[in-house]
Amino acid sequence: MSFSATLSSLPHLQVWAHYEEQPVEEVLPVPEEKERSASYKPVFVTEITDDLHFYVQDVETGTQLEKLMENMRNDISSHPPVEGSYAPRRGEFCIAKFVDGEWYRARVEKVESPAKVHVFYIDYGNREILPSTRLGTLPPAFSTRVLPAQATEYAFAFIQVPQDEDARTDAVDSVVRDIQNTQCLLNVEHLSASCPHVTLQFADSKGDVGLGLVKEGLVMVEVRKEKQFQKVITEYLNAQESAKSARLNLWRYGDFRADDADEFGYSR
């Protein structure tokens, strides 16, 4: 993501100010050969990555994060870190001063030099390269033992992300416009080695975000064999056929030949 897009991915904490916690059904992965489970939970989308993964916060714990951040910043204001006293080490948690001048919880991912430290903002999902002078020790009272990292990574189920850079950028841009910094509904469909794959719905219309990408011809369908997914896969494939007929985006020149599919990183 661009730096400006990364900046916009940090929602104002006031988003939780009027939220009242409500019971939410537990989301479980779908067992083999069972009915598809659809237990959607409310989430807040904070970051979209260049490979079309995304990070969300659980709405039900949003007020806890707001309170922790407020208390942490008050503590830092009273006991500010001594500039340059922190020696970052890969893998450890810290506090990092973002471009907005506020402190956030982060994790050190890589140390190139004191001037170039790669950090991951654990409650929002975005990354930044900072000098060590803008980092400090995370006070124990605000550690992940007190409140776990709030940003969770997911990927869209039932779609294939194009490997072609321009095509992938079109899909990412569409998702950023539609859902970044908004509340959505999330259902875990299946697990993978990288992160859970989910369907995501708009909170107001209940429209399927991934299906919308297929309808616009921005992605192709990932056909899965599990019995419980056949109904939703059929819906996705029908949407893909409509996008082909309308020659939308990926289909602007008609259907892919086999070698075109390979070039774009798709399997037929």
Per-residue pLDDT at 22: 40
Shared domain for 137 and 189, answered yes or no, is no
Does 122 map to a domain? yes
Per-residue pLDDT at 80: 93
* Burial bucket for residue 156 (CB in 10 Å: 0-12, 13-18, 19+): buried
Task: Find the angle CA(13)-CA(72)-CA(184) to the nearest 5 degrees.
Answer: 25
**What is the CATH number for 165?**
2.40.50.90
Does 136 map to a domain? yes
Per-residue pLDDT at 183: 98
Rounded-to-integer distance, Cα 199 and Cα 188, Å: 7
Among 82, 116, 142, the domain boundary falls at 142
- In this structure, the chain runs to a length of 268
Q: What does the chain look like in DSSP terms, one character per residue?
A: --HHHHHHTS--GGGGTT------PPP-PPPTTSPPP---EEEEEEEE-TTSEEEEEEGGGHHHHHHHHHHHHHHHHHSPPPTT-----TT-EEEEE-TTS-EEEEEEEEEEETTEEEEEETTT--EEEE-GGGEEEPPGGGSTTTS----EEEEETTEE--SSHHHHHHHHHHHHHHHTTSEEEEEEEE--SSS-EEEEEETTT--BHHHHHHHTTSSEE-----GGGHHHHHHHHHHHHHHHHTT-GGGTT-SPPHHHHHHTT---
Does 22 map to a domain? no
Range of the domain at 237: 157-256
Per-residue pLDDT at 68: 98
Show the low-confidence residues of the chain (pLDDT under 50).
1-9, 11-28, 30-31, 257-259, 263, 267-268
Per the CB < 8 A criterion, the answer to whether 67 and 19 are in contact is no
Per-residue pLDDT at 43: 99
Per-residue pLDDT at 10: 52
pTM (2 decimals)?
A: 0.84
Among 142, 169, 202, the domain boundary falls at 142
- Can you tell me which residue has the tokens 């994060």? 65
Question: Based on the structure, what is the number of domains in the chain?
Answer: 2
Task: Give the pairing type, strands 183-190 and 41-48.
Answer: antiparallel
Shared domain for 161 and 248, answered yes or no, is yes
Does 108 map to a domain? yes
Shared domain for 123 and 203, answered yes or no, is no
Per-residue pLDDT at 256: 63
